[in-house]
Amino acid sequence: MGKRILISETPQYVGEVVKLSGWVSLRRDHGKLIFFEFCDRSEKVQLVILPDKPEVISIAKDIRSEYVIDVIGLVKERPRKNESGHIVADNLEIEVMELSIISRPVGELPIDVSQSELHLNLETLLNNRTFVLRNKKIRAIFSLYSLLLETYAKACRTRGFLEIKTPKILSAATEGGANFFKIKYFDREAYLAQSPQFYKQAAMSAFERVFEIGTVFRAEPHFTTRHVNEYTGLDAEMGFINSVDDVMMELEGIIMEIVREIDARGKNELEFYGASIPKEIAIPKIRLSEAVEILKKEYNKETDGEDIDSEGEKMIGEYVLKTYGSDFVFLTHYPAAIRPFYSMPSKDNPEYTETFDLLFRGIEIASGGQRIHEYEMLIDSIRRKGLDPEQFKDYLDIFKYGAPPHGGWGLGSERIIQKLLGLGSIKEAVLFPRDVKRLTP
């Protein structure tokens, strides 16, 4: 037989003999007929083995769920009845002519992944990750995630951003603090990148607009539904901006392009989770200080005035949805005390910065802002943070030789999927998550 085709291509071959390869997800016996629900990466289809094929039946008799098989068969329309009782042909089946087993499971299956709903706790789900990924509802998460990555890259390129890849093994922790992983690098110590921040600013100074889809490592001992220690960041940096508003406007445009594309191409995946697409409306902007007042007035929630916690973010998300009809909100002008040293101070009050967080359905998915581009101002800011400018010599060289006003963002890809589908934990949106206790599978 010739070249294998995908199940999704079979409608083009009705009445013809084709070769298919894939997994058996379910077996049903009806009298002398044997039926298999059969799937590959594209779709699923029903196989039927008729009693006049004894050589095929002899092979099929032991086949069960998750056997990997090759099939040669006739593509036929399967007659069905509609509501009026009339016969319609709205589906296909493959009448098997030849069958061969490629591989078979060893031992009992740990989970029945053919079920539409897997009622598993998170630990069981992740401990059996490699097998559970065969479930069509679980696969839908990562089909949508792939669409997110594709659309983000496309949207950036359309806007003139150049894709870059920055190093993840560094000689010093990018943002200082204690949330970095230290590793042995030959005869010295090195660190896993907490952010591509310094390198994307360096690239911006040459290419003006750059973006990266890359791994980020954070050594934060969190035990929450929204944190992991290794995630995929969607970063960007853009030069020659007039203000932080330019950065937010560009990010908003990209977010809305992602929303449109998922709405157009991800309907099947969204339906698995009963998920709704965000409305495409202008994203409201609220100063952090105003958000603090809203929490106090609307929810009787007190904060320390410098930031809001996860509960506060959720409340602000509810308030913005009720008030503006938006699933997104920019919180702006964070205090300099809680922002990195490279954050541009606000002209009207240098105690605050030209920075923002982007919340989606009550959770932070992005952080960004305008950066300091003047050499001497940056040195002063480093010193005010109690740091030594000599430790940032390579970084300072970017600005020593001239850099335009610029800004950018870091966007957490998995959190977008988590909130879009309403997943209980971000770990469900990570193919093989890494947290404080998990290094396998």
Question: What pLDDT does residue 177 have?
Answer: 60
Question: What pLDDT does residue 307 have?
Answer: 87
Phi and psi based region of residue 294 (left: phi greater than 0; alpha: psi -120 to 50; beta: remaining): alpha
Beta-bridge partners for 211: 163, 236
Domain extent listing, the chain: 7-103, 132-429
Q: How confident is the model at residue 176 (pLDDT cuts 50, 70, 90)?
A: low
Question: What pLDDT does residue 116 have?
Answer: 84
pTM: 0.92
Q: Looking at the annotation, which residues are catalytic?
A: 218, 220, 226-227, 364, 367, 415
Question: What pLDDT does residue 178 have?
Answer: 63
Q: How confident is the model at residue 169 (pLDDT cuts 50, 70, 90)?
A: very high
Question: What pLDDT does residue 18 have?
Answer: 97
Question: What pLDDT does residue 418 have?
Answer: 98
Which residues in 64-107 belong to E strands, given as ranges? 68-81, 87-103
CATH of domain 7-103: 2.40.50.140
Q: Is the pLDDT of residue 168 over 70?
A: yes
pLDDT tens digits for range 346-388: 999 999 999 999 999 999 999 999 999 999 999 999 999 999 9
Right CATH number for 132-429 from 3.30.930.10, 3.30.70.1350, 3.30.390.30, 3.40.50.720? 3.30.930.10
For residues 397-417, give the mean pLDDT: 96
Percent of the chain with pLDDT over 90: 88
Question: What pLDDT does residue 85 have?
Answer: 58
DSSP secondary structure string for all residues of 276-338: -PPP--PPPEEEHHHHHHHHHHHH-----SS---HHHHHHHHHHHHHHH--SEEEEE--BGGG
pLDDT tens digits for range 90-142: 589 999 999 999 999 998 999 999 888 888 999 999 999 999 999 999 999 99
How many residues in the chain? 441
More confident residue, 114 or 231: 231
Question: What pLDDT does residue 244 have?
Answer: 98
Separation between Cα atoms, residue 420 and residue 68, nearest integer Å: 33
Calculate the average pLDDT of the chain. Answer: 93
Pick from 369, 368, 362: nearest CA to 415 = 362
For residues 26-33, give the mean pLDDT: 93
Neighbours of 334 (CB within 10 A): 23
DSSP strand pairing (363-371 vs 355-360): antiparallel
DSSP label at residue 4: B
pLDDT tens digits for range 292-302: 999 999 999 98
Q: Is the pLDDT of residue 175 over 70?
A: no
Q: Is the pLDDT of residue 163 over 90?
A: yes
DSSP secondary structure string for all residues of 375-425: HHHHHHHHHHTT--GGGGHHHHHHHHT---SEEEEEEEHHHHHHHHHT-S-
Q: How confident is the model at residue 222 (pLDDT cuts 50, 70, 90)?
A: confident
For residues 387-407, give the mean pLDDT: 93
Question: What pLDDT does residue 197 have?
Answer: 95
Separation between Cα atoms, residue 387 and residue 275, nearest integer Å: 46
The lowest-confidence range among 218-232, 235-249, 321-335, 410-424 is 218-232
Residue in the structure block whose two tokens are 């910065």:
353
**Tokens of residue 23, six digits:** 């997994």
Separation between Cα atoms, residue 279 and residue 258, nearest integer Å: 12
What are the residues whose beta carbons fall under 8 Å from the beta carbon of 373, sequence distance 6 or more? 399, 403, 404, 405, 406
